[in-house]
Amino acid sequence: MNSPKLEVKCSVDCCDYWKDSCCNASALEVNPMTGKTPHTSDDTACTTFKPNK
Ligand code: SF4
């Protein structure tokens, strides 16, 4: 079975996976913000984020 492919637009330009307004990570994990039960997208966060150097 083929894995789904998704183009992820991202504006976090200080992330190591960011390039040209898109995410270039091979997989992406998104979770609720710490201590939150999500009700809106503001309550979620990208766990794959890695600060660039
Ligand atoms: S890993 Fe997350 S923060 Fe980093 S470019 Fe991808 S979507 Fe954006």
Query: What residue's CA is closest to ligand 1, atom 1?
Result: 49
Q: Would you state the pLDDT for residue 19?
A: 96
Q: Which atom belonging to ligand 1 lies closest to the Cα atom of 16?
A: 4
Report which protein residue has its CA nearest ligand 1's atom 4: 49
Q: What is the pTM of this model?
A: 0.86
- Number of Cβ within 10 Å of residue 23's Cβ equals 19
Query: pLDDT tens, position by position, for the chain (53 residues)?
Result: 566 788 999 999 999 999 999 999 999 999 999 888 999 999 999 999 999 98
CB 23 within 8 A of CB 10: yes
Nearest atom in ligand 1 to 10's CA: 8
pLDDT at 5: 81
The Å distance, Cα 50 to ligand 1 centre, comes to 8
Q: Residue 52: which of 31, 32, 25 has the closest Cα?
A: 25
Beta bridge pairs of residue 15: 51
Find residue 31's DSSP bridge partners.
45
